[in-house]
Each structure stands twice: as C-alpha cells, then as structure tokens.
Amino acid sequence: MRLFTVGPVMMFPEVLEASGRQLPYFRTEEFSKMMLESESMLKGLLGAGPDYRTAFLTASGTGAMEAAVAGLFSASDRLLVVAGGGFGRRFGEICDVHGISHDDIVLPFGKKLEASDLDPFRDEEYAGLLVNMDETSTGQLYDIRMLSDFCRSKGTLLVVDAISAFLADPIDMRRDGIDVLITSSQKALSLAPGISIVVLSRDAYEGRLLRNDSHLYYLDLKRHIKDQERGQTPFTPAVGTLIELNVALRSIRDAGIDDVVARTARLAAYFRKGAAERGIRMPDYPLSNAVTPLIFDSGAYGVFERLRKEYGVTVTPSGGDLRDRLLRVGHMGNLSEEDYDVLFKALDDVLGRRFWML
Ligand SMILES: *Cc1c(COP(=O)(O)O)cnc(C)c1O
C-alpha cells in the first residue's frame, strides 16, 4: 500500500514502533514532562517565543479551527476570510455557526491570491484574518508575509491554519507575523489522526483569548492552555498520538527542520518534473510542497479509483465541483523517489494515450 494522500500519510518506522505499545496512564509526572518537552520542541520548530502558549486538543484539525475562531472572536467582531477552496470556506462556515460576521476574499479555482485582492478590504476594520496557509483542496500556498503586512497595518489578528503547511513549507511565527497557528497530527507530522494543536502569541493569548467570552466547553482553549502549563490536558487526550508526537518532534529536531522541509520540497519537485514531462496539467499559482494538484478535463475520480484498486496506490481525490477535474498527489510522510516511480508507472498505464490529449 502506498499513500500519496494528504492525511493520514505514510508513517515513519520510529513512530510505528511507538504506536504498537501499551498506552500508559496519563495523570503522571512522566506524561506531564513529555508534554512540556513536546511543547518546547514544537515552539522551537515554529519560531515561536517561549512566551507563546500551546493547546493540545484531542480533535481533528477542524476542531482546532473551531476552537480558535470561537475562542478568539465573538458576534461583535468582523473577520476577513481567504476563501480559496474547501478549507477556506470551512472557516466561513465556522464563523456562520458562531454568529461571527465575515467578509470573504473569494478566489475561483486557478486564481492566485494577489495584493490587489486585498484592496477592497483595506479601509475596513477586521478583528482577525483567517487563512489556510496551504489551501489543501487546491494546493495553493498563500503569501503569508503579504497577509501579515496587511494585518499589521490594521491591528488585525492573523490566524493561520498551517495544518498541511507545517513541515512542508518554511514557517516562522515571529518572522512571518503569525499570531495564531493551527496544525494537526495526521498531515506532515505523519502520525495517527487525533491531535490538533493551536499555538498563540502572547498578544493573541492575553489581548484576545483571555478577554473573549467563548461559548465553548470541550474546545475551550483557555482551559487547555492553563492545564498545559503543567503538561496536562483537561480531558482524556489521545494518549497514543501524543506519545507518537513526542517521538516525531525529537526526530525532526535532530534532523533539523530545514532539512525536513527541503526533503518534502525535493519530492514535490521530483514528482512535478515527471508529471510535466508526461504533459499532465498543473496549476500556475504558487504551490505548497505538501501536495501537487493534477488538472483533468474529466474523469479524475475514475483515475483515482483505478490507481487504488488495480495498482494499490492511493492519490487524493477531490470533492464538489472539482471531483472529476482534480486529483491531488501528496508529498508528506515517509515517501521516496522510488515511490513516485511506482506512481508514474501506474499513471502511465491508467492514462495511456490520454496524456497526449490533456
Ligand atoms: C486537513 C486539513 C484540515 C483539517 O481537516 P480534518 O479532517 O478536520 O483534520 C484543515 N485545514 C487544512 C488546510 C487541511 O489540510
């Protein structure tokens, strides 16, 4: 089985080994120590200062998106949302459920986010800007520095969903002016699903989170952050995934995050070169290293099914309007150039002469 998906992804041997063991009880000093170590390693990898706060939620990435939006903002706030695909629209839907008004920067498929897209919103006031650094549904990598300059000039909080960008693309919270960052266990961290993480700058924590009355119980970031001060969580966490997280963070720290990002970038470049040689169409907008979208005139979903059933390789299908037009090939996790050679062979078989018609 080979997964070129965007989560879960192929896992690394040291994580697989850790995940096969009996789980320990977690209200212990040892567990707390591990959690504090994980927090400190994570902050180091993210360019977050020691005064930044971290919440480890037992939830999928969407749970962390909701915890951040509903925890930081209220119905009296107005937000700006980059709606360039399914995950951007999800931010808007979360705002709607919580009665938070928002303006959307709507990008039709294929459109690059540019400074001029911000122009209509420059004179408006926004409490926060919500963006998915890599909009995984299209693979577009947004220019976070451009967005953080926009936010800084207006005193707007920048909330970045880096769920698929963390470890795939360079990120540094302080350098890039990111106030709140969200990530999740099953993407480039290459762990089991179950843990999502929210990291907040001191300003976001003290200036916004502590002052906002959220109507959340399980997903209340204040509670999670308070308990994490002593390495604990308010409720039973996904203990196994947190242990895997500690193992993975150590190995990323030891390898060096720049090397980890460079490795993903190398795999993405290898695949994109081979796809271009085969005449497969890819978008013109800037791409994250996490995933490569392949554009079809039609029949994309059928290609996904044949690859999986006949060749044992799973790429990522798309939903909604893009179901038959877009496949996405992931570069996160334990993959090598040889794995892409296997994928190319399968693609050559399945697409056959169709290449030359695309
Ligand atoms: C995967 C992903 C999510 C979260 O999806 P879940 O299924 O809730 O884990 C959110 N945003 C982006 C950009 C993602 O890639």
Task: List the domain boundaries for the chain.
Answer: 13-255, 257-357
303 within 8 A of 351, measured Cβ to Cβ: yes
89 within 8 A of 83, measured Cβ to Cβ: yes
| pLDDT at 357 (0 to 100) | 47
Q: Is the CB of 5 under 6 A from ligand 1?
A: no
Q: Please tell me the distance from the alpha carbon of residue 223 to that of residue 157, in angstroms, as a whole number.
A: 21
Report the candidate in 93, 83, 179, 67 with the shortest Cα–Cα distance to residue 135: 83
Report the amino acid identity of residue 180.
V
Q: Is the CB of 86 under 6 A from ligand 1?
A: no
Topology of the domain comprising 257-357: Aspartate Aminotransferase, domain 1 (3.90.1150)
Ligand 1 centroid to residue 62 C-alpha, Å: 6
Q: Read off the pLDDT of residues 199-253 as tens digits, 9 standing for 90 and up.
A: 999 999 999 999 999 889 999 999 999 999 999 999 999 999 999 999 999 999 9
162 within 8 A of 141, measured Cβ to Cβ: no
Q: Is the CB of 246 under 6 A from ligand 1?
A: no
Report the candidate in 337, 318, 314, 351 with the shortest Cα–Cα distance to residue 9: 314
Query: With DSSP H G I counted as helix, E B as strand and the rest as coil, what are the percentages for the chain, rounded to 5?
Result: 45, 20, 35
Q: Please tell me the distance from the alpha carbon of residue 13 to that of residue 108, in angstroms, as a whole number.
A: 40
Instruction: List per-residue pLDDT tens for the chain, 358 residues long.
Output: 899 999 999 999 999 999 989 999 999 999 999 999 999 999 999 999 999 999 999 999 999 999 999 999 999 999 999 999 999 999 999 999 999 999 999 999 999 999 999 999 999 999 999 999 999 999 999 999 999 999 999 999 999 999 999 999 999 999 999 999 999 999 999 999 999 999 999 999 999 999 999 889 999 999 999 999 999 999 999 999 999 999 999 999 999 999 999 999 999 999 999 999 999 999 999 999 999 999 999 999 999 999 999 999 999 999 999 999 999 999 999 999 999 999 999 999 999 855 544 4
The residue nearest atom 6 of ligand 1, judged by CA position, is 61
Q: Please tell me the distance from the alpha carbon of residue 184 to that of residue 205, in angstroms, as a whole number.
A: 20
Joined tokens for residue 121: 């919103």
Q: Please tell me the distance from the alpha carbon of residue 85 to that of residue 285, in angstroms, as a whole number.
A: 13
Q: Is the CB of 88 under 6 A from ligand 1?
A: no
Q: Please tell me the distance from the alpha carbon of residue 38 to that of residue 300, in angstroms, as a whole number.
A: 40
The CA radius of gyration of the chain, in Å to the nearest whole number, is 20
Q: Is the CB of 61 under 6 A from ligand 1?
A: yes
Q: 313-317 and 2-4 as β-strands: parallel, antiparallel, unpaired?
A: parallel
Dihedral over Cα of 87, 90, 94, 96: its sign: positive
Ligand 1 centroid to residue 329 C-alpha, Å: 16
Alpha helices in 179-220 (DSSP H): 202
Residue whose tokens read 């993405």: 268
CATH architecture of 13-255: 3-Layer(aba) Sandwich (3.40)
Joined tokens for residue 203: 């300003």
Joined tokens for residue 213: 């009355």
Residue whose tokens read 């040291």: 14
In this prediction the pTM is 0.97
169 within 8 A of 263, measured Cβ to Cβ: no
Q: Is the CB of 136 under 6 A from ligand 1?
A: yes
Q: Is the CB of 87 under 6 A from ligand 1?
A: yes
| pLDDT at 352 (0 to 100) | 84
Ligand 1 centroid to residue 184 C-alpha, Å: 8
Dihedral over Cα of 133, 66, 258, 203: its sign: positive
The residue nearest atom 4 of ligand 1, judged by CA position, is 61
Ligand 1 centroid to residue 123 C-alpha, Å: 31
Q: In what order do the strands lie in the sheet with 195-200?
A: 53-58, 195-200, 180-184, 157-161, 128-132, 78-83, 101-106
Q: Please tell me the distance from the alpha carbon of residue 4 to that of residue 315, in angstroms, as a whole number.
A: 5
| pLDDT at 85 (0 to 100) | 97
4 within 8 A of 313, measured Cβ to Cβ: yes
